[in-house]
Amino acid sequence: MKFSFFKTEKPKPFEYRPLYYDPIKEKREQRRKELGLDDGNSDHKSFFKGELQSKWRRGGDPREEKSKKKTIIYMVILLIAVYYIFFTDFVEKMVTVITRI
C-alpha cells in the first residue's frame, strides 16, 4: 500500500459475478423441495445442526471444561501461596536460612 500526503487512493469497488447460474437447475431443486424429494445432503446438515445444538445445551466443548478446571487449580495454588507468604512466618524463616548461608 502506497502512502502519500497529497493524494489518497480510492477503495476498490465490490464486483461480485457468480461463476455459473442455471435457472433450470434452480427450478428443479425448488420443485424437489416442494415434493419432499430432497437429496441426502439435508440429512447431513440436520445431523450437524442437531449435534451443535446438543453441545450448546450441554455446556460446550470438553476442552473448555478442562481449561476451567486448570484455572481453578491454579487459583487454589495461588491462594495457598498467598496465605503462606502473608499469614505465616514462612518468609521470615526463609530469610533467616538464606542469611545464614
Termini Cα distance of the chain? 63
* 7-18 mean pLDDT: 81
Give pLDDT tens digits for 19-64: 777 889 889 888 888 887 766 555 667 777 777 777 766 665 667 7
pLDDT level of residue 79 (50, 70, 90 thresholds):
very high
| φ, ψ for residue 11, nearest 5 deg | -70, 155
**Count of C-beta atoms within a 10 Å radius of residue 90:** 13
Residue 81, all three cell numbers: 501461596
